[in-house]
A and B are shown apart, each in its own frame.
Chain A
Amino acid sequence: MATTTQAPPRVLRRPVEAPSGLWSWLTTVDHKRIGVLYGVSSFLFFLAGGIDALLIRLQLGKPMNELFSPDHYNGFVTMHATTMIFMALMPMSVAFFNYIVPLQIGARDVAFPRLNAFSFWVFLLGGLIMSSSYLVDAIPNQGWYGYAPLTIREYSPGLNVDFWIVGLQILGVATIAGAINFFVTIINMRAPGMSLMRMPLFCWMTLITTVLILLAFPVFTIALTELLFDRHFGTTFFDSTRGADPLLWQHLFWIFGHPEVYILIMPAFGIISEIIPVFSRKPLFGYAAMVLASMAIAFLGFGVWAHHMFTTGAGPVAYTFFALSTMLIAVPTGVKIFNWLGTLYGGSINLRPPMLFAVGFIGTFVIGGLSGVMHGTVPVDWQQSDSYWIVAHIHYVLFGGTMFALFAGIHYWWPKFTGTMLNDKLGQATFWTMLVAFHVTFFPMHFLGTAGMPRRMSIYPTGTGWDFWNLVATVGAFALAASVWLFVMNAFISLRRGEPAGNDPWDGATLEWAIASPPPVYNFARIPTVSSRDPLWVEKRSEETAVELGFAPRRAVAVVADPVEARVHMPNPSFWPLVAAVGLSMIFAGFLMPWYLGAFPLITLLGIPVLMVGITSWSFEPAG
């Protein structure tokens, strides 16, 4: 510890040239590399969850199908949802937080680079532990909502539920640690002049998402801990035979679960709010209204959870309250939709692939939002609850909403990530295939739900009238897979021989387009000074005006400068976040192993010192 050593001021600790090799990735604390790690691993989990989906659709393609056992089918359903929500969509949003937020606020890195690395490794280990359930044929099969008392040991004796609890606990730690980091980053690491109300909307949505995570995830952590204790230490939280109330699980789960929906959709809102102005060539309509509406959605989102429990008999007062609050949320959501439409209105619209996905998002998300308001109505919900209608709704908001927005974001920022363009034609093909396939897959589920098909059945009899639309949905699902495959091809082609993108291929408005693609390790050779919203547009336009008038243009955003001369200071790489992440994962994974020391799992006890060594070494090594 180093009050003694007098290092020369502001030396370059992290080399300006990015190092390469496996070790450099294992020890990286660079937000861009961590963003890439998050992006790639979440996309792989997305493919895994997609394979689950295809297996589900294969099973449901025809009546009386005995392709998979009900047990395995339940496993695919549970893992499809769990993988997509916790291991694909959320971390893919976090990939964008990592890569884009520091660039957009004009920072060199996040507030706590090593904590950031820790979050990633914990996420990856949690995802791998969850997925390893396939290897030992103990796939979680109780549904992603894990309703008690089905999950207690008596009714789910295998390791299946334990894999689910352990995996989600580890993923939860990663999420909370990441959220704290991005909260501090956005509050404290903004470039001079970047006041909160000048921030790009994507950063605003990230900030609101982190608040939602910090308030919602602890509730889930407790619910899972109670379940873990029920299964391993004989507590009676969810065992109604011993004085408990299984509804407790539903309350805790949905107090977390509904904000979770906004955790999944807010980053999507942010991405869309970046893309629509750039491809309409005009500033976002109603910036302040957008920010306030998002805050309202986030706040109200904590007061609606019981709309998932309208069939549990909570009584008329609770029903009325939760139905009204649910419908109230549609108002700020509508404000956002109209702001996007207001931005499009009168703009010179440029329908490149990112914009196609963004516009597609608005359409499908509105459908999903409307079907949501419909089952926010209590009597309607009694009809639709547990039917395929719900499956249709959730996919309209999470695939048609979040996933479309994430694809929009991938197409938009790909040139920044890689320095090369994606092929436009292939991008168009991806979008149109995905849009059509999406509606072919999920729109029929509205019909199936209305025709009474329950959402959790692995096999259905002939003569129900459900055959045709199920077959259509199955065909659509494979077409969706084809559209994803088109994107993967496009990505590989771009990496191999894509056109060079240059700094600013879309005439962007925000700071990330001011610097090279991909950005140098230190991002900005000189921290920019911001004096407006859409800072880069303001600069480019005033530069053009200056040239027209014969003045020498002057840029506040330094694009090229010698980083050594600017005395850039970057944090050191570190191995300890990975060690701490392994220790933390061991603490939870111990509950999956057969070795015990007294009442305590052995691996858990071994994990504690590993975690402590990681944290201690982390605290005492020079950060850079």
Chain B
Amino acid sequence: MARAIAHDEQGRLLPQAGHGDSDIHDHGHDDHGGEHPTSTGLNNVKVLMWTFIASECLLFGSLISTYLAVEGRTIPNTPGPELFDIPYTSVSAFVLLFSSLSMVLALAGLQAGDQRQLRIWLFVTAALGLVFLGGQYYEFSTFYFEEFWLDKNFLGSSFFLLTGFHGAHVTVGVIWLLALWLYSLRYGIAPEKSLLVEISGLYWHFVDVVWIVIFAVVYLIPYSRIEGGGH
């Protein structure tokens, strides 16, 4: 659609609709499809998402610091990192990595104008997210029966709060992706609305990136110290 930019007689920009609410959804406007005339040329919602992600770095940073600050100070005869099942967790880690792949494929499909690709990969991403959550549920319940729980010791508290917080983020992401998927099934998403998918993708990849850090710092490092100390 034509994006007319109005000028007054001195060549100055006339007021643009985009200076109102810059929601990513269409509002029934002629000139909302493209970029909003923002000061930087960057889309408001995308700036919002990156700002939010930046802020989340501190959220997860604090949780990881908590875990590592008191790491290694387990009280005797309480469960510790020796319970971690590294091969099992590495499968989980790869499930999440692969969901990141399917997420970019969904976006690439949409940008190529291929609705089928978009729908398939959106669904695959959400499904992989659910697989990850199922895996986490199984892992948590195994730990629970092995007497490793959030009220047992500091390690348990910080482990379950950190991984639980991450799991909550995955849950929100899955709901978001499923909503997008249903929306794309019912209405389709126009390629110029690819921002809808891109924003959810940014969130999803960030959640994946956090897991990359958790996998190394929370699982591998403490486990390696047990191994090293034990032998």
Contacts and interface: CB of A to CB of B under 8 A. Distances in A.
A281 interface: no
Which of A7, A237, A623 has the most chain B CB within a 10 Å cutoff?
A623
Given A236-B153, A242-B153, A1 B17 contact: no
Interface stretch (A59-67, A214-222, A378-386): A214-222
Interface string A180-212: 110110011110101000000000000000000
Which of B15, B154, B158 has the most chain A CB within a 10 Å cutoff?
B15
Given A2-B26, A226-B161, A248-B69, A235 B39 contact: no
B19 A112 contact: no
A111 B44 contact: yes
Contacts of B55: 176, 180, 214-215, 217-218
Given A112-B22, A235-B151, A252-B62, A243 B70 contact: yes
A623 B27 contact: yes
A352 interface: no
Nearest to A302: B58
A384 B86 CA distance: 51
B91 interface: no
Interface string A73-87: 000000000000000
B161 A571 contact: no
A107 B19 contact: yes
B231 interface: no
Nearest to B164: A229
Given A192-B13, A526-B14, A219 B20 contact: no
Interface in B44-99: 44, 47-48, 51-52, 54-56, 58-59, 61-63, 66, 69-70, 73-75, 78
Contacts of A624: 20-21, 27
Given A223-B62, A243-B74, A235 B150 contact: yes
Given A9-B31, A236-B157, A194 B21 contact: no
A1 B187 contact: yes
A558 to B, nearest CB: 9
A527 B161 contact: no
A368 B224 CA distance: 50
A623 B25 contact: yes
Contacts of B28: 2, 5-7, 622
Which of B20, B47, B66 has the most chain A CB within a 10 Å cutoff?
B20
Interface string A7-28: 1011001000000000000000
B73 A243 contact: yes
Contact of A568 (B15, B69, B75, B150): B15
Contacts of A181: 48
B51 A214 contact: yes
B92 to A, nearest CB: 23
B23 interface: yes
A299 to B, nearest CB: 15
A109 B59 contact: no
Given A111-B48, A236-B153, A248-B69, A187 B39 contact: yes
Which of B28, B38, B75, B161 has the most chain A CB within a 10 Å cutoff?
B28
Contacts of B48: 111-112, 180-181, 184
A237 B38 contact: no
A237 B154 contact: yes
A567 B8 CA distance: 12
B62 A222 contact: yes
B19 A1 contact: no
A448 B68 CA distance: 41
A106 to B, nearest CB: 9
Contacts of B74: 243
Given A218-B56, A527-B15, A623 B62 contact: no
A624 B190 CA distance: 21
A236 B30 CA distance: 56
A194 B13 CA distance: 13
A113 B18 CA distance: 12
Contacts of B16: 527
A234 interface: yes
Contacts of A571: 20-21
Interface string A596-614: 0000000000000000000
A183 B25 contact: no
A235 B63 CA distance: 14
Interface in A533-571: 556, 566-571
Contacts of B156: 235-236
A244 interface: yes
A194 B52 contact: no
Contact of A226 (B42, B61, B66): B66
Interface in A250-267: 251-252, 255
Contact of B20 (A108, A192, A230): A108
Contacts of A13: 20
| Nearest 6 CB-CB pairings of A with B | A234-B151, A235-B157, A2-B28, A571-B21, A222-B62, A218-B59
Given A214-B55, A215-B58, 8 more contacts: A3-B190, A6-B28, A114-B21, A214-B51, A221-B59, A252-B62, A526-B15, A624-B27
25 contacts: A1-B26, A1-B187, A7-B29, A9-B17, A9-B31, A112-B21, A114-B23, A180-B48, A180-B51, A180-B52, A183-B51, A184-B47, A216-B58, A218-B56, A218-B61, A222-B62, A226-B66, A243-B70, A243-B73, A243-B75, A243-B78, A244-B157, A527-B14, A569-B17, A623-B21
Interface of A: 1-3, 5-7, 9-10, 13, 29, 107-109, 111-114, 176, 180-181, 183-184, 187-190, 192, 194, 214-219, 221-223, 225-226, 229-230, 233-237, 242-245, 248, 251-252, 255, 524, 526-527, 529, 556, 566-571, 619-620, 622-624
Interface of B: 8, 12-17, 19-23, 25-31, 38-40, 42, 44, 47-48, 51-52, 54-56, 58-59, 61-63, 66, 69-70, 73-75, 78, 150-151, 153-158, 160-161, 187, 190
